[in-house]
Every structure is written in structure tokens, then in C-alpha cells.
Amino acid sequence: MAHPINNHPDRLLPGNPSARSMARRLYLEVKDLPIVSPHGHTDPSWFAENNCFTDPTKLLIAPDHYLLRMLYSQGIRLSELGIRSKNNANNEESVNDPRTAWRLFAKNYYLFRGTPSALWLNQTFADFFKQSKELDETTADDYFDSISEQLQKEESRPRQIFDRFNIEFLSTTESAVDNLKYHQILKDSDWNGKVVTTYRPDSVIDPEHTDFMKSLRLFGEMTGQDIHSWQGYLQAHRNRRADFIAMGATSSDHGHPTPRTANLSTANCERLFDRIMAGKVSREDAELFRAQMLTEMARMSLDDKLVMQIHVGSYRNHNEWMFQNYGGDKGADIPIKVEYTTALKPLLDCFGNNSDLNLILFTLDETNYSRELAPLAGHYPCLRLGPAWWFNDSPAGIMRFREQTTETAGFYNTVGFNDDTRALLSIPARHDMSRRVDCAYLAGLVCEHRLSEDDALEIAKDLTYNLSKQAYRIGNDT
């Protein structure tokens, strides 16, 4: 027999009664503020075409690598969840019936107990789909039928969901060689929802990217530049950044293995670029080229005002078999140790004292929150700290981030919260989690007489809403 969904109104608030009471008061002031989602990976075609989602399996399971990795770790094959392999290379027949895949998910839903995934999904099931019982084997079909029926209603189309969630601003992420057709459709539409793009040039910056040479050729075709010359290649980036800005972009994003930067002479840049284009790429050359391009991207940001994000600390596609058979974003990325202080110095020597540059740093390596990131952001005018990211985007992870960075960087060298999600329906639950944890942290400071209640309320509103808009240069007219 399924139990009632645990969606307690005081979830994530402190256990101590006085701190809990304070956290409640703070939370009630911010819980209904609009959602600002300045960095994520939802599909822009959803909003451009505004078609109904077909079934809960494709909507809730297939795009969510948090779910896939846990299920795979317990011996459940992706093919059993309806995920198709590339060209059926592993000779596995994928399940074609989404109900069958959903039943398997429901049977194993207990695996997510205590994880952020269960927190997000339970809130989605209860608040959005009005379910009252937990998902398990006994409720799987009821869930599937009820959710499938609701997804066919007008209010469950993507644009209507966007409005229903009170989302004020949402940014997707596209590669430098994306044609941006869905964003053009959105720009030409009469819908008032603000969905913009983000410039992600990894496939034309990283010589070790599997599509590097193919993407470079397309890059040249799209921009009309000679991408075989260093100056032509840089101009191609400027052209594409302008295309993204025309579609509303306020930021670029760079997912590099490390945050290493470089400041080579023009002659050395040209020689390095020639080696890259000739296919004579050592691992050191690849890393040096990525390093130089972070500095070049910062230089361009000073010209075109795109906010620059650096996401590092992930060994992507660690499971080679998984990558070869199913591609990326299937839950096989693993955190690694990262060094920032020396790595960023060449870029900071060039631009670190320029407050016109907004450079937001993210990491999966929590060990350098207090050791490096907070001291760096607490000094350089150009730097801000992105919120706890990915594996650390959790109640405990968000609390650790606040505890390890606030004393050195304060609150105002951070950028609030962004959900960084591919799962549309998880957006309000993720933001709600962040609001609750931040209010719990602030309540502790008030109860320890380290902060007044008035200051805590102002900070809570800034962390929830204002800081994201400021950091990502989202104006009132966007």
C-alpha cells in the first residue's frame, strides 16, 4: 500500500523551533516571488512549438540524467527505460511502450529516497499533478494514466506551464553552430514569455571535442569567415555572439575540464591555432588552446557585454561504453578536483580589476569553496560565485556552499540561484528548495544574533530574485 506523499510545509526548515519559526517568516516573504532562471538546458522547441507532451516517461525520465544514473547504478539498462542506443550498436532492443518503462521506474522509485530527485519529483507529483499517494508499483498505472491525461490539457502545454510557474526569465543553452530557429520562432511570436538563448561555444573551442572539426566547418559557413586563420576564427566568434545577442542572450557558458587560462602573444596564438587546424593536437596544445580561448571570450565580453560563465570540475562521459552506445548526458559525468587560483591568473591579470566584466565561476569541487573561490570572488571586481551546481545542487550542498563562502565572499559576490536543468517540471521545485535552504541559513544567523531580521529578509529577497537579475544583466525591459 502506497504511503501519502511526504510534502511537509516545513520541509528543509530548521529542526530547532525558534530557528524554524524565523525561517518560516522569511520563506513566506519570498516563496511566491517570480522565478528567474538565467542558465538551464530546457529545449527551446518546447516553447516555440508549444505541443503537448506525450507521456510521463518521455517528459520526466528520459531527459533527467539524475534519474538515469541512479537506475543504471542498480543494474537497470537504459534500453529498459525506453532510451534508444546509437544505431542499436549494443544489440539491445529498447522498450517501445512508455507504460512499461514507467512501471519499471515506479517499481524502483524507492532508490531515490533521501535524494534531491525525490524531493523535486514528490513536489511535482503533489503540486502539479495533484497526486496524494507515493509512486510505487501499486500506483504506477494510476500515475501514468492521470499524468498522461493531464498532459493533453491546454494548461499543460509548455508556454502555459511557463506562465503557471510564474517564470519571469528563462535561458536555454545552444551551441555556437545551432541555427537558433526555435528562438527565432519565439522572437516572432506574440507570446509574452521571456525565453532566450546562451552562447555555448565548446564544440568549436575544444580540440578534443568529438565534433570539433565538423563544427568548425559549419562555424565558418554560418559566419562567412575564414576559420582557418586566427583572426578569421576570432571574428567568427564575434559574429555568432552577435547572432545570439539578437535572440536575447545575456550570457555565454564554457564547460571546460579545467579553468586554466592563458595570455599568449598574437604570434604564439597563430602558431598554436595552426597546429590545431593541422590536426597535430597534443593534450597540452588542446588544454593551452582552451585556456587562451577563455581569455579571448573574456575580452569579447568586455565588448559585447555578455556575462561569462565557467563550469568546470567534471570528467565528462567517464563511462566510455555508455558514451559510445548512448551519447552524452546519461549520468556518467564524475566530479574531479580543480585548481582555480593559478589557473585564472593570466585572465585576471588582464581583466580582473575591470568591473565591466561579469565572470561567474561554478565548480563541482566543493573543497575549493573556502580555499580559493570565496577569496577570489571576495577580492576581484569581475568575479562572482555561481550557486552550488549539479551534484551539489541539493539541500545539504546549498547549505555547505553558504557556510563555506559567506564569511569570505559575503552574499553579494554570489549570484542567487539557477536551476541548470533539462527537466521543465522540476524548475519550481528546485527554486523552492533553494529558497527554503537559504531561509534556513539566514534564520540561523538571526537566532545567533549575527544578523537582524530586517537584514535577513532583505538578503532573502536578493538571493531569491535580485542577485540573479543583476549578475546576468537582466533588465526590467527584457
- Each residue of 239-273: pLDDT tens digit? 999 999 999 999 999 999 999 999 999 999 999 99
93 vs 118 pLDDT, higher one: 118
Q: Identify whether the C-beta of residue 195 lies closer than 8 Å to the C-beta of residue 44.
A: yes
> Percentage of residues in the chain with pLDDT exceeding 70?
98
Q: Identify whether the C-beta of residue 189 lies closer than 8 Å to the C-beta of residue 213.
A: no
Give the mean model confidence (pLDDT) for residues 375-396.
97
Q: Identify whether the C-beta of residue 167 lies closer than 8 Å to the C-beta of residue 191.
A: no
Q: For residue 325, which amino acid is it?
A: N
Q: How confident is the model at residue 375 (pLDDT cuts 50, 70, 90)?
A: very high
Residue 203 confidence (pLDDT) = 98
Whether the per-residue pLDDT at 429 is higher than 80: the answer is yes
Residue 92 confidence (pLDDT) = 62
Q: Identify whether the C-beta of residue 38 lies closer than 8 Å to the C-beta of residue 168.
A: no
Residue 93 confidence (pLDDT) = 64
Q: How confident is the model at residue 445 (pLDDT cuts 50, 70, 90)?
A: very high
Instruction: State the architecture of 17-52+156-471 in CATH terms.
Output: Alpha-Beta Barrel (3.20)
Give the mean model confidence (pLDDT) for residues 161-187.
98
Phi, psi (5° rounding) for residue 167?
Answer: -85, 125
Residue 89 confidence (pLDDT) = 52
Give the mean model confidence (pLDDT) for residues 141-160.
97
Residue range 323-357, pLDDT digits in tens: 999 999 899 999 999 999 999 999 999 999 999 99
Give the mean model confidence (pLDDT) for residues 130-149.
97
Q: For residue 181, which amino acid is it?
A: K
Whether the per-residue pLDDT at 35 is higher than 60: the answer is yes
Q: Identify whether the C-beta of residue 177 lies closer than 8 Å to the C-beta of residue 222.
A: yes
Q: Identify whether the C-beta of residue 445 lies closer than 8 Å to the C-beta of residue 63.
A: no
Residue 86 confidence (pLDDT) = 82
Instruction: Tell which phi-psi region holds residue 420, choosing left (phi > 0), alpha (psi between -120 and 50) or beta.
Output: left
Instruction: List the chain domain ranges.
Output: 17-52+156-471, 53-155
CATH class, 53-155 region: mainly alpha
Q: Identify whether the C-beta of residue 16 lies closer than 8 Å to the C-beta of residue 22.
A: no
| Helix segments in 175-282, DSSP class H | 181-188, 202-205, 212-223, 230-246, 266-277
Alpha-carbon distance values, 148 to 35, 57, 99, 115 (Å)? 26, 9, 10, 25
Nearest to 431 by CA among 251, 253, 168, 195: 168
Whether the per-residue pLDDT at 88 is higher than 90: the answer is no
Instruction: Tell which phi-psi region holds residue 473, choosing left (phi > 0), alpha (psi between -120 and 50) or beta.
Output: left
Residue 447 confidence (pLDDT) = 98
Nearest to 98 by CA among 46, 153, 50, 141: 141
Q: Can you spell out the DSSP letters for 128-147?
A: IS---BPPSTTTHHHHHHHH
Residue range 312-323, pLDDT digits in tens: 999 999 999 999
Residue 478 confidence (pLDDT) = 43
Q: How confident is the model at residue 292 (pLDDT cuts 50, 70, 90)?
A: very high
Q: Which DSSP symbol is given to 466?
A: I
Residue range 5-31, pLDDT digits in tens: 989 999 999 999 999 999 999 999 999
> Percentage of residues in the chain with pLDDT exceeding 90?
94
